[in-house]
Structures are given as C-alpha cells and as structure tokens.
C-alpha cells in the first residue's frame, strides 16, 4: 500500500507534468483520476484514498503549495480572474447609475 504522501506525489506529478499556470479544476481532475486508478489497482486503501481526495479538492491550498515550491507561477487563478471581471462590471454598473 502507498502512503498518503506517496499517493499525493503520484497524483500531483500527473497534474503538474505539463507545467500549468495554475492549479484548478483541470489539474484536480487529472490528479483525482490517478488516485482513483491507484485505489482500483489496490495500491491505496479506502481511508488513504479519502484523505488524498480531500487534499486534492482543496485547490486553494494546493495552488499556494505549488507556487511556494515553484511548480507554478503566481498568475491569477480562474476565480481571481472571474472576481476581477465581476468587480469591473459592478463598477461600470455603479458608474451608469450615477450619470
């Protein structure tokens, strides 16, 4: 059986191998696919699988970890980009209301 650390390393290696700019849903999907394969192959027990999946689902923490260790850059992630767009739209809407 793999340890949680070994399993996470395999999952994250698959997700980060193509040098993405961020860690988001696409990378999480790749990583969880590896975890599922490891579980099906009997390389993980269900308890370890659950912990690995929980950690992979925390995109924000994984993104911070990946930036800290140089696996990805500090570019804005999808949520930050969407929030910026929404703020700009809200400012535009407020400006129109004051005219």
Please report whether residue 83 resides in a domain: no
Domain span at residue 38 reads 4-74
**Token pair of 32 as six digits:** 């969880």
Q: What mean pLDDT is predicted for residues 59-63? A: 83
Residue 10 lies in a domain: yes
pLDDT beyond 80 at 5 = yes
Q: Does residue 93 lie in a domain region?
A: no
> Is the residue at 64 inside a domain?
yes
pLDDT in tens, 8-44: 999 999 999 988 877 888 888 999 999 999 999 999 9
Between 52-56, 67-71, 80-84, the lowest mean confidence (pLDDT) is in: 80-84
Long-range interactions of 58-64: CB distance < 8 A, separation 24+: 59/23, 59/24, 59/25, 59/28, 62/12, 62/23, 62/27, 62/28, 63/22, 63/23, 63/24
Residue 36 in any domain: the answer is yes
How many domains is the chain partitioned into structurally?
A: 1
Between 52 and 23, name the one with better pLDDT: 52
In a domain, 60, yes or no: yes
Residue 99 lies in a domain: no
On whether residue 38 sits in a domain, the answer given is yes
SS3 21: coil
């Amino acid at each position: 059986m793999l340890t949680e650390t070994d399993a996470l390393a395999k999952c994250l290696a698959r997700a980060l191998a193509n040098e993405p700019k961020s860690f988001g849903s696409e990378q999480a999907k790749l990583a969880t696919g590896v975890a599922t394969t490891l579980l099906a192959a009997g390389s993980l027990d269900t308890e370890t699988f659950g912990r690995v999946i929980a950690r992979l689902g925390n995109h924000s923490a994984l993104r911070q970890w990946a930036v800290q260790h140089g696996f990805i850059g500090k570019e804005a992630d999808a949520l930050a980009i969407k929030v910026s767009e929404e703020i700009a739209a809200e400012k535009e809407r407020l400006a129109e209301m004051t005219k």
